[in-house]
Amino acid sequence: MEKTNFSTLPWWRKPVRMMRRDYVSDFRPFIQANLDSLARKAREHWQVNCEWVMATPGCAPGTAHLTLFNTPRFEKMPGIGAHDLLREYLPHVRRHGIHLLAYVNMHWYSYEFADTHPDWEQLLEDGTAYGHKHPLYGGGTTLCVNSPWRDWAFEMIREVMRTGVDGCFLDGPVVYPGACYCKYCRRLFKIAAQSSRLPKFGDWNHPLWKRFADFRAGSWARFMCDAQAAAREIHPGAVMFLNGGGFSSHNLSCAYDAARMESCQTFTGSEQFFHCADGYDSPYKTLNLARFLSAGKNPGVVFTHHGLSTWHYAPLPPAEMSTALAQTVAGGSNTWFAVFHEAIKKDAREALAPLETTGGFIADCDPYVTGDRSAAETAVLISNRTLYYYLTRHHGLCRDVGSGREAGLVVEQGGTQQKGDLRQRREVSAEILDHENQGCLDVCNFAHVPARILWDDHLISEKLRGVKVLLLPNAACLAQKQLAAIERFVRNGGGLVAAFEAGMYDEWGDPMSRQNWLRFLGIERIKGVFVPSRTEDYLTLTTPLDNIPADSLIPRPVHGLAVRAADDAKALAYYLNPINKAYTQPKGVSDYPAILATRRGKGCVVYLASPLFDAFDRFHIDAHKDLARALIRLAAGRIGLQVETDAPGSLAIEVREQKGRTLVHLVNVTSDMKRPMGQIVPLYDVPIAMRSKATRAKCLRSGQPLRLKRKGNRVCFRVPKIRDYEIVVLSGT
Ligand SMILES: [Zn+2]
């Protein structure tokens, strides 16, 4: 393979493939093992170049205060004797070119240990310790980042670093939902907010609730910055990071904020463990998370558990393991997996085969993923401010719409209109938002629209370079300067697709009138909301869009704003008059537009009065995906979509670039139609046309060169076979 010189990069800026062997509480198999052979296996069979070894174990009854290495300052884990897992393993991993990180449990302590430091525990507002009301993993408690425990923790980190490891992964601390109301937090919040009144947890009526949410995230970030500094006192190049969450409305209660943590850690990591689920489970969750984590300045890491959901001693099926690895790399992040010792023992070869096959391919691709970045021309704003503070002002959105299931002559159609108090409004807001964000990314995946993710602070020219269309999946809580950046982007020729309440609240979630912004979106005024419905309500196009005819009935998303269009906006679709009852005759088209398109400067704004992406995530209907794709194409203008193909939606296409070449990542999740997937079905002879000036193409996995045909500003090629993962390199640009 071609070599690119990235030798000046620190090791963690190059592709990193991490793993952790789990021994739970019995470390004898590790102590008694031939350590050199363990390290060699990790490197040669599993392609690992960074291994984690536990410095403090993460097992019952909460063992974060015990060490698996020798230190005069802390208590040793019983049964380890004189062994020092870190110092003993270090020379072996070094010999095999593996960096060693220490896993440091920072969240799960036994009650006995906590009793020796009674003021260190995280407290709920009634004064009970969090871990006494919610025992961790069945037993054990957790400590507060603002208490004097922090100094204990930093000393632990220094001691870990003295073993010679390359850095630490901190498993926690976690700022748990409902916490913390300890005396240290109270004191610090009083100074920060100039008030001695602490809000009840989740009390949206309290003037300081959002301030308290912000304080919690800030406290955690401050802890991480000090932890990083402690590690670097011992080793200036120490790597430090934690499991920091992804993009969900739970970010608020768990104090997750990837952007805020960015300068306090080396990697931005989060877990995407496979869970067996009752209902639909998007096959692209790892890809979406990988894009989110790699959107910032730090390299991303997706943590993939090799255990099968809640059965940790049964391995994840190979198809799930291989797609998790492929999606992680396609999304621009680094891989990580954990295996339980028992699982490795029993069924090693088959269960871990993807680490040798797909993992081996990924390792061979190092030169093609080093220093790369997304070249997707569509950007999706995932607004953490909105995840934190979005609380719709519309009481009418709070209504139970049921499942819609019809059986035994009974339709489950809900129907209870709720009062829409603050708690209910937050619940419905969070539900819409979680569906919108996942649905928007999945619409792009299933529609073959390569997408990059932007965080709140990324609405700047450097990050928008190369972006043709910006999607705002109900990014409701935006600062005025973000709106100005979006307007500038459009007036300079960009396309915008904004959904539902995008930009209608400020960055603290306060409802704003923002007449100029509404006008920019093509809205004259908002009259109210439609009654939430998932039964017999539709929208219909006024003009054909791509392959969707003008008169077809498209199922209406559950929610909808009733808006009046501005004079210069063109209504592309209208809502039908609401029915919300099964087996009822349609009642004609309403006066309310569902989609508006407006020219603004050199660009185009498409406004969706409904959360269309939410509908795709709930119902997975192709009409919603096709409509979204047609609107993205419309917003892009004459230049059109970046990629065209007739491949099924079960092939995700991600476009990344290095200097002088483009990497087209093809992740195939075509399978036996269930999750966990049992088998990937290969795709053959897949035609792809994409905007590019390339003159040469080849498949990295098969090694085959591909014939390129030029059609205008596009190159067209056919990929002969795609198993789980292939990368096409386009060069000669
Ligand atoms: Zn506290």
Does residue 166 belong to any structural domain of this protein? yes
Does residue 184 surpass a pLDDT of 90? yes
Q: How far is the CA of 697 from the centre of ligand 1 (A)?
A: 57
pTM over 0.95: yes
Q: How far is the CA of 181 from the centre of ligand 1 (A)?
A: 5
- Cα dihedral sign for 283, 285, 288, 290? negative
Does residue 495 belong to any structural domain of this protein? yes
Q: How far is the CA of 180 from the centre of ligand 1 (A)?
A: 4
Q: How far is the CA of 77 from the centre of ligand 1 (A)?
A: 27
Could you tell me the pLDDT band of residue 352, with boundaries at 50, 70 and 90? confident
Q: How far is the CA of 216 from the centre of ligand 1 (A)?
A: 9
For residues 714 and 570, membership in a common domain is answered with no
Count the neighbouring beta carbons within 10 Å of the beta carbon of residue 232: 17
For residues 627 and 669, membership in a common domain is answered with no
What tokens were used for 386? 């909105």
pLDDT score at 305: 87
Q: How far is the CA of 297 from the centre of ligand 1 (A)?
A: 30
Q: How far is the CA of 417 from the centre of ligand 1 (A)?
A: 39
Which one-letter amino acid corresponds to residue 83?
H
Q: How far is the CA of 185 from the centre of ligand 1 (A)?
A: 4
pLDDT in tens, 475-527: 999 999 999 999 999 999 999 999 999 999 999 999 999 999 999 999 999 99
For residues 613 and 725, membership in a common domain is answered with no
Strand positions, DSSP E, 566-660: 570-576, 589-600, 603-608, 643-645, 651-658
pLDDT score at 271: 96
Which of 169, 172, 159 has the alpha carbon at shortest distance from 53?
169
What tokens were used for 17? 């493939």
Quick one: how far is CA 122 from the chain centroid?
Answer: 27
Does residue 279 belong to any structural domain of this protein? no
Does residue 260 surpass a pLDDT of 50? yes
Q: How far is the CA of 215 from the centre of ligand 1 (A)?
A: 11
For residues 648 and 517, membership in a common domain is answered with no
For residues 136 and 75, membership in a common domain is answered with yes
pLDDT score at 345: 67
For residues 622 and 682, membership in a common domain is answered with no
Q: How far, in Å, CA of 117 to CA of 418, rounded?
A: 46
pLDDT score at 582: 86
pLDDT score at 733: 63
Q: How far is the CA of 658 from the centre of ligand 1 (A)?
A: 45
Residues 6+ apart with CB under 8 A from 235: 161, 166, 167
Residue 99: beta bridge partners?
50
Could you tell me the pLDDT band of residue 1, with boundaries at 50, 70 and 90? very low
Domain boundary among 227, 261, 295: 261
Does residue 254 belong to any structural domain of this protein? yes
- Residue labelled with tokens 């008059």: 577
Q: How far, in Å, CA of 258 to CA of 243, rounded?
A: 10
- Cα dihedral sign for 599, 601, 607, 613? positive
User: Tell me, what CATH number does 692's domain have?
Assistant: 2.60.40.1180
Number of independent structural domains in the chain: 3
For residues 606 and 708, membership in a common domain is answered with no
Q: How far is the CA of 186 from the centre of ligand 1 (A)?
A: 7
Which one-letter amino acid corresponds to residue 414?
G
Could you tell me the pLDDT band of residue 2, with boundaries at 50, 70 and 90? very low
The range of the structural domain enclosing residue 95 comes to: 17-29+49-261
For residues 655 and 520, membership in a common domain is answered with no
For residues 717 and 676, membership in a common domain is answered with yes
Transcribe 363-429 into DSSP letters: HHTHHHHTT-EE--SEEEE--HHHHHH---S-GGG-B------EETTEE----PBP---HHHHHHHH
The mean pLDDT of 178-186, rounded to a whole number, is 98
Q: How far is the CA of 455 from the centre of ligand 1 (A)?
A: 28
Task: List alpha helices for 605-708, DSSP H.
Answer: 612-619, 622-636
Strand positions, DSSP E, 88-166: 99-105
pLDDT in tens, 76-134: 999 999 999 999 999 999 999 999 999 999 999 999 999 999 999 999 999 999 999 99
What tokens were used for 730? 């386009």
Q: How far, in Å, CA of 340 to CA of 560, rounded?
A: 47
The mean pLDDT of 627-652, rounded to a whole number, is 97
Mean pLDDT of the chain: 95
- Beta strands 406-407; 239-242: pairing state: unpaired
Q: How far is the CA of 141 from the centre of ligand 1 (A)?
A: 13
Q: How far is the CA of 107 from the centre of ligand 1 (A)?
A: 13
Domain boundary among 204, 232, 261: 261
pLDDT score at 344: 64
Q: How far is the CA of 425 from the centre of ligand 1 (A)?
A: 28
Q: How far is the CA of 148 from the centre of ligand 1 (A)?
A: 10
Domain boundary among 207, 235, 261: 261
For residues 244 and 149, membership in a common domain is answered with yes
Does residue 343 surpass a pLDDT of 70? no
Does residue 462 belong to any structural domain of this protein? yes
pLDDT score at 393: 97
For residues 569 and 692, membership in a common domain is answered with no
For residues 224 and 120, membership in a common domain is answered with yes
Q: How far is the CA of 501 from the centre of ligand 1 (A)?
A: 35
pLDDT in tens, 144-171: 999 999 999 999 999 999 999 999 999 9
